[in-house]
Homo-oligomer: A and B are copies of this chain.
Amino acid sequence: MSRAPAPDPELLPAEIEVGERLRELGLDTALDLDAMAALSNVFRAANAARSQLERSVLTVHDLSFTAFTVLWVLWVWGEHEFRDVAANSGITKGTLTGVLSTLERRQLVERRRHDEDRRRLYVALTRRGTSLMSKLFVTFNRGESAIAAGLDPGERHELARLLRKLQRSVEGVDQSGPGNG
């Protein structure tokens, strides 16, 4: 007789319940459970970490995660073209226009027209924005450090490596699937 195997003690409670339910539905063999486990944990971990950083670091400065990302990009890369800032921040140009308006009102960033091609725009931190980020960058990283504290250095490297591999894999999906295999 085949009994249900004891669930992996590493699994989160929600995952154990999902596994039992899918077995009841007879779907546990029809699905790619490894992919489901990997992806669902990517989403859960990202939500948890993001919420934690918003609460512990960003809310006191009245910054959204996206607004902070834009400031982060400008601080690390320095003055950059509008389109590059949007791309590096992972947002569309329409969203960036709105975010910049908010940040410019608070005098944290400034826009500057390209001298030769007057369609183009440069974006940079103001002195005030630079000053804020000099402190906030470190504070934010301390938050990241606290979150990652449960993983030893080797595990952090491995986690980052696997996530990079996943990102490279996502890039190739449009060509090869799903539904085309």
Q: Which residues of A contact B (CB under 8 A)?
A: 10-12, 14, 17-18, 21-22, 27, 30-32, 34-39, 41-50, 52, 56-57, 76-78, 88, 90, 137-139, 141-151, 153, 155-174, 176-179, 181
With known contacts A41-B159, A52-B173, A36–B166 Cβ distance under 8 A: no
Hey, which chain B residues are within 8 Å of A172, CB to CB? Answer: 150
With known contacts A38-B156, A49-B43, A160-B37, A151–B170 Cβ distance under 8 A: no
Select which of B35, B142, B150 is within 8 A of A141 by beta carbon: B35
Select which of B141, B146, B179 is within 8 A of A181 by beta carbon: B146
Hey, which chain B residues are within 8 Å of A10, CB to CB? Answer: 161, 164
Hey, which chain B residues are within 8 Å of A34, CB to CB? Answer: 148, 153, 156-157, 160
**Interface-central residue, A22, A32, A157, A166, by most chain B CB under 10 Å:** A166
Select which of B36, B49, B168 is within 8 A of A170 by beta carbon: B49
Instruction: Compute how far the CA of A49 lies from the CA of B36 in the bound complex, rounded to whole angstroms.
Output: 12
List 28 interface pairs A-B (beta carbons < 8 Å), by A numbering: A11-B164, A12-B167, A22-B76, A31-B138, A32-B148, A34-B153, A38-B159, A42-B45, A43-B49, A44-B163, A45-B163, A45-B164, A46-B47, A48-B166, A48-B170, A49-B166, A49-B170, A52-B174, A142-B178, A143-B173, A145-B177, A146-B177, A147-B166, A147-B169, A150-B169, A151-B165, A155-B165, A158-B162
In the complex, the answer to whether B178 meets A143 with C-beta atoms within 8 Å is yes
In the complex, the answer to whether A144 meets B35 with C-beta atoms within 8 Å is yes
Closest beta carbon of chain B to A106's beta carbon, Å = 23
In the complex, the answer to whether B147 meets A39 with C-beta atoms within 8 Å is yes
